[in-house]
Structure 1
Amino acid sequence: MATYQLGVLYGDGIGPEIVQSTVEVLRAAAEQVEGTSFDFIELPMGWTGIQEHGEPIPAITKDSLVTCHGWIMGPHDSSAYPAEHQAKRNPSGELRHHFDLYANVRPSKTIAGVKSLVGEADMVILRENTEGFYPDRNMYAGSGEYMVNPETAIVTGLFTKKAAERIAHAAFRMAMQRRKKVTIVHKANVIRLGYGLFLNTCREVGKLYPEVQVEDYHIDAMAAHMVRRAKDFDVIVTTNMFGDILSDLAGELVGSLGLAPSINTNDHQAMAQAAHGSAPDIAGKNIANPVGELLSAVMLVDWLASRHEDHGLHQLARKVENAIMKTMYDGIRTRDLGGEASTTEFTKAIVERL
């Protein structure tokens, strides 16, 4: 029996509802696959961490995650935290920084029965997670932004060859398993040194994968191309801020940002985290859509299966994914997708299809 320890961070807003749904589905799926089980370890994060330990990501959570194979993270509502916590990294940024989760993998794929604005599409955005223009994680000490006077703000972007190399390798390795095409997104025509380094490094790495077709676009052109011809893209690799923006666009184009999954990874750990926010306006109403979090967990299980060469985990991931898709295809959907099912009803329907 292979047992995998998964941290469970419920988070804020709708987080407890959609993470609980995810745990229930994974637990039910594990019962269907012989030789595989999960040990779910609940850890404080967000408001729970503040109330119980004085920090959104307390030391007990970080220390416990070190021994986990991976974890499921709910959304956070950091904009509502007390001022002293808003001045620090938000929970997801803190975990990405602390564990050096350098790759944010965000797939966007059309789903049968869910209306897409761009027809058929199947693309994956690999977002470099540790530097760029996000000042909460691009400096060893201090912050990458500051004000020289009350009316002047300066933001520093960080671009290193090391970061570009490892996200590029991740993108090309993924492309080799898919349609063998990588699109590099940048702004090297204006930010010539920073994005020039990123672009050139990605192209250098691409030469090590001669079977993969390589192209590149400026970020503004890419946004237009994605709307016009999303089906033409396979693996997209880009920097922190551009990846954040493009993945939200891609998620909405293929159906809904509420369906968009993601994982954050380094070479030995992974964090499942839906791309959407905490939606505090609907928290506690049992109407939240858990699909983004559920599909993030599917990605996490697939990542674990590959890392540990565990066929049972791959089988489990397919069971969960198929049950989710079958549920939506059968017309059982939450309100944001035009259905009437509550979060718990939707979860129950998935478990029944398992």
Structure 2
Amino acid sequence: MKYNIALLPGDGIGPEVVDATVKVLKALEKKTDIEFNFKTYMIGDAEKKRSGTALPQATIDGVKEADACLFACVGETAKETILPLRQKFNLYANLRPAKAYPGVSALKPETDLMIVRENTEDLYKMIGDRQPRSAFNVRVITYEASERIVRYAFEYAKANGKTKVTSVHKANVLDYTDGLYLEASRAVAKEYPEIQYQELIVDAAGMLLVMKPELFQVVVTTNMFGDILSDVTAGLVGGLGMAPSGNVGDNMCIFEPVHGSAPDIAGKGIANPAACMLSAAMMLDWLKEEKAASMIEEAVVKVLKEGKVKTPDLGGKNKTTEFADAVVKAL
């Protein structure tokens, strides 16, 4: 099977981790019947400085035409790049796994859960106003988007052998918006009697995710709560450097490591590409190439477990390219 993959390296360490990941994907071609056609498109701070726009039309068109997209990171232009792409292509589900890997220092090594975050509305609709001494942002929640994201969470649980879905809200205070979200959540939950359904107020959810992450399997919530809680759970398993993610819709996807552009180490060749590689594994899983996805994840895990090749953030002295070579060898 041949896939057209749009690459959006972006800023800072983005090109380095994408190059390392492409090296692994090219090695995967030799082990499977998969072929990749990679096309690179411009995005981010540097592109805005060069052309005046952080998200050129050519990039939008390239993402639209591709079978899947791998995005790395941008600097200060996230609001002008990844947010519009999520909304433009209706990538309504943000997938944020939190999983502890061997060889990576973790506060809670027993953590293994998935946060399913609504990705198109809430405060991220960017509706609001600013006056000299006052400001407001409008929180938009719809029944349609709430129902859709909760259904995605239950379908994910069903497909991955999970037995529990936790719906996180703040309906005790945000009675209009989260009240509507909960109505949709409860309606969907009734369609899946074989899966345990739990509701938690976001305050309690935050505390329990830190204290007892093993109680959670699949967490579904609205956009901003999911944005915050997913970084909390990343902190349990070694930080954002090891955190992959996906933005998916019914027919399109953009997968990305969660870490930022890390300008302090950009160009030094020491960035950890593991999160980008794991994001590529998630991308393959979305493309229904489950075996290939497992091969990449298992190769990354093998390198981490052996501990012979580690980038500085993992306590080693190896280069990005050396980590990539080790993963290729592990394949």
1:12 is the counterpart of 2:11: yes
Aligned to 1:133: 123
Q: Look up the match of 1:152.
A: 134
Amino acid at match of 2:247: N
Aligned equivalent of 2:319:
342
- In the alignment, the residues of structure 2 paired with residue 115 and residue 65 of structure 1 have an alpha-carbon distance, to the nearest angstrom, of 35
Q: Give the match for residue 270 of structure 2.
A: 287
Report the counterpart of residue 197 of structure 1 in structure 2: 180
Q: Is the 8 A contact 1:78 1:91 kept in 2?
A: no
Q: 1:47 to 1:152 in 2, by over 3 A?
A: closer
2:210 counterpart of 1:233: no
**Cα drift, residue 51 of structure 1:** 4.8
Q: Determine helix, strand or coil for the equivalent of 2:104.
A: coil
| Residue 63 of structure 1, CA deviation | 1.2
Paired residues of 1:6 and 1:71 also in contact (CA < 8 A): yes
Q: Does 1:106 align with 2:96?
A: yes
Deviation larger for 166-175 or 54-63: 54-63
**Are 2:94 and 2:119, in contact at CA under 8 Å, matched by a contact in 1?**
yes
Structure 1: 5+ residue runs without aligned partners?
80-85, 306-312
CA distance in structure 2 between the aligned counterparts of 1:264 and 1:118, rounded to whole angstroms: 26
Equivalent in the alignment of 1:264 = 247
Structure 2 residue runs of 5 or longer lacking an equivalent are none
Deviation at 1:3, TM superposition (A): 0.5
Q: Which of 37, 44, 47 is the aligned partner of 1:46?
A: 44
Distance 1:316 1:155 in 2: 43
SS at match of 1:10: strand
What's the TM-score, normalizing by structure 2? 0.96
Displacement of 1:52 after TM fit? 5.1
Query: How many residues were matched structurally?
Result: 329
| Partner of residue 216, structure 1 | 199
In 1: Cα distance, 2:171 partner to 2:26 partner: 47
Q: Deviations over 1:294-337 (max 9, x none)?
A: 111100100001xxxxxxx2221111111100001111211111
Tell me the SS of whatever aligns to 1:78.
coil
Give the Cα separation in 2 of the matches to 1:24 and 1:175. Answer: 32
- The reply to whether residue 28 of structure 1 matches residue 24 of structure 2 is no
Residue 50 of structure 1: CA displacement? 2.5
The CA distance in 2 between the partners of 1:320 and 1:15, in whole Å, is 19
Q: 1:96 aligns with which of 70, 86, 93?
A: 86
2:146 aligns with one of 157, 164, 168? 164
Identity of aligned residues (%): 42
Asked whether the equivalents of residues 323 and 350 of structure 1 are also in contact (C-alpha less than 8 Å), the reply is yes
Give TM-score scaled by structure 1 length. Answer: 0.90
Of 276, 290, 293, 1:317 maps to 293
Cα distance, 1:48 vs. partner? 4.7
Q: CA RMSD in A?
A: 1.3
- For the 8 Å contact 1:119–1:231, the answer to whether it is kept is no
- Which amino acid is 1:70 matched to? A
Match of 2:310 in 1: 333
- On the 8 A contact 1:291/1:324 being kept in 2, the answer is yes
Contact 1:45 1:58 in 2 (8 A): yes
